[in-house]
Amino acid sequence: MTTPRGPRCDDEAGDAGPDAARRPRSDHPLRYNRNFRRLWIGETVSQLGTQISVVAVPLAAVTTLHANAFQVGLLTAIETAAFAVLGLPAGAWCDRWRRRPVLVAADLVRAVALGTVPVAAGAGVLSYAQLCAVVAVVGVATVFFDVDYQSFLPNLVGREHLVAANGALEASRSAAALAGPSIGGFLVQAFTAPYAIAADAVSFVWSGGWISLIDAADPRPVRDPTSSVAREIAEGLRFVFTHRVLRMLAGSTGTFNFFSGIYNAVVVVFLVRVIHLDSGVVGALFSAAGIGGLLGALVANRVRTAVGGPASIIFSAVSLAVLAPLAPLTAEGWRIGLFIVWSLLGAVAISVYNIATVSYRQEICPQPLLGRMNATMRFVVWGTLPLGGLLGGLLGQTLGLRAALWVAAAGTIASPLWVLVSPLARPGRTR
């Protein structure tokens, strides 16, 4: 399958000039890309705020609103349901619109929605229903942001620099995952969970401001006026599911995310009510994932260069399967260390996998289909999260929290089977 190369934007509009001719050839390819730096600065702080909410939102449900395991699972499901409901049409719509305005609007919508939580808490009217509504709105805005940002990135850096760009963004996400949960735990202890969420609202305002400064070419896409949204959605589905590698990646990641949804629904409740940890310690434990994710982002490009993209995808997926049982084996005392090992090394594997798979997708997809390809992949791989979240809440409520974690681990062990039988496992057959 041949892939048309998208427009190169190594030096964005306004970046060229007298200094451009004097740049050392050995510089990192993104060092002088002003517009990529703007995206990166905005996303870094936004990701920090998001990681604070990863701790603060479920803790607001558990400690402030006294939610049970099923209610926390339902909250997790609602947060990601937008990918299943809107994922496919969002891709078609985003391929019709300019990228930057969508990104800015998505950030501002998320800021306003999250900002209502501390306001309601201050007025004494915060409810579980409002928290569900907030995460639903945030989820819808996130669908549009994620589809558009992954489609906009090739315009900013050129396809030959996608691995470096995705690695830099993943490193920021991982650094945020390192600091964010600890900061979130501290903020929850100091101000209570609803007020900690205000930090995430501010981070989205910051991100939207920086993205609004991007001055890269962002023309309105040219489209056939006789084409319909349904036909354009079908084109994206056809591209993904007729591609031998993409459909296997969708299956593998979707399987992992389904069982990750089970895990996410119960892990905070498990650590608080079974392992008897306070909010600060829970945040610190989650930070281990940030360390691992940062390490994975730093080595992903080297791993991909050393062993190739297909091998790095397979190795990282299998590594996750091997590590998965450590989470349900966690207990009080020294066995808390098992959770740290799982969080640390599992995050390394996830980071390497994400960078390798997202870069592969962006490299092989024609420019006009980027939004729909990304949306189709997100529909499949994120659309399973709310189903897993609902099942996780039910399992935690009926079988127990540890049993739910064992189910999640079993599914994670099975998830690499898709890539092991795909063309990725056969050298020279990755198209």
Q: What does the domain layout of the chain look like in residue ranges?
A: 31-213+228-425
CA distance 226 to 375: 22
Give the pLDDT score at 412. 94
Measure the CA–CA gap between 13 and 4, rounded to whole angstroms. Answer: 22
Yes or no: say if 210 and 102 are a contact pair by the CB < 8 Å rule. no
The tens place of each residue's pLDDT in the chain, 431 residues long, gives 333 223 223 333 333 333 333 444 444 567 778 888 898 889 889 888 888 888 888 888 888 888 887 887 788 778 777 877 887 787 777 777 888 899 999 999 999 999 999 999 999 899 999 999 999 999 899 888 987 877 788 778 776 777 778 778 877 877 777 777 778 878 888 888 889 999 999 999 999 999 999 887 666 766 666 667 788 888 888 998 888 888 999 999 999 999 998 998 899 889 988 888 887 788 778 777 778 888 888 888 788 777 777 888 898 999 999 999 999 999 888 888 899 999 889 989 998 898 888 888 878 888 778 778 877 887 888 778 888 888 998 998 899 999 999 999 999 999 999 989 888 877 655 45
Q: Which residues, in sequence order, are CB contacts of 243 under 8 Å at separation 6+?
A: 1, 364, 431
CATH for 31-213+228-425 is 1.20.1250.20
Cα 330 to Cα 317: distance, rounded to the nearest angstrom: 22
DSSP letter string, 375-431: HHHHHHHHHHHHHHHHHHHHHHHHT-HHHHHHHHHHHHHHTTHHHHTSGGGSTT---
Two tokens, residue 98: 């300019």
d(CA 241, CA 234): 10
Model pLDDT, residue 226: 65
Q: How many CB atoms lie within 10 A of CB 128?
A: 16
- Round to whole Å and give the CA distance between 157 and 6: 10
Q: Considering only CA atoms, give the Rg of the chain.
A: 21
- DSSP letter assigned to residue 61: I
Length of the chain: 431
CB 365 within 8 A of CB 3: yes
Distance from C-alpha of 378 to C-alpha of 380, rounded to nearest angstrom: 5
Using an 8 Å Cβ cutoff, are 259 and 388 in contact?
Answer: yes
Question: What's this model's pTM, rounded to 2 decimal places?
Answer: 0.68
| CA separation, residue 34 to residues 10, 25, 31, 45, 205 (Å) | 9, 17, 8, 17, 20
pLDDT value at position 428? 55
**Amino acid 323: pLDDT:** 94
pLDDT at 405: 95
Residue with tokens 């999640």: 408
Question: Residue 171 in contact with residue 48, Cβ under 8 Å?
Answer: no
Predicted local confidence at residue 24, as pLDDT: 44
Q: CA–CA separation, 361 vs 374, rounded Å?
A: 8
Kindly give, in sequence order, each residue whose CB lies less than 8 Å from that of residue 282, ignoring residues fewer than 6 positions away.
Answer: 55, 59, 181, 185, 268, 271, 272
Identify whether the C-beta of residue 156 lies closer than 8 Å to the C-beta of residue 35: yes
- pLDDT on residue 280: 74
Tell me how far apart the terminal alpha carbons of the chain are, to the nearest angstrom. 6
- Among the listed residues 177, 102, 175, 115, the one whose alpha carbon sits nearest the alpha carbon of residue 143: 102
Which of 271, 300, 275 lies closest to 286, judged by CA?
A: 271
CB 279 within 8 A of CB 55: yes
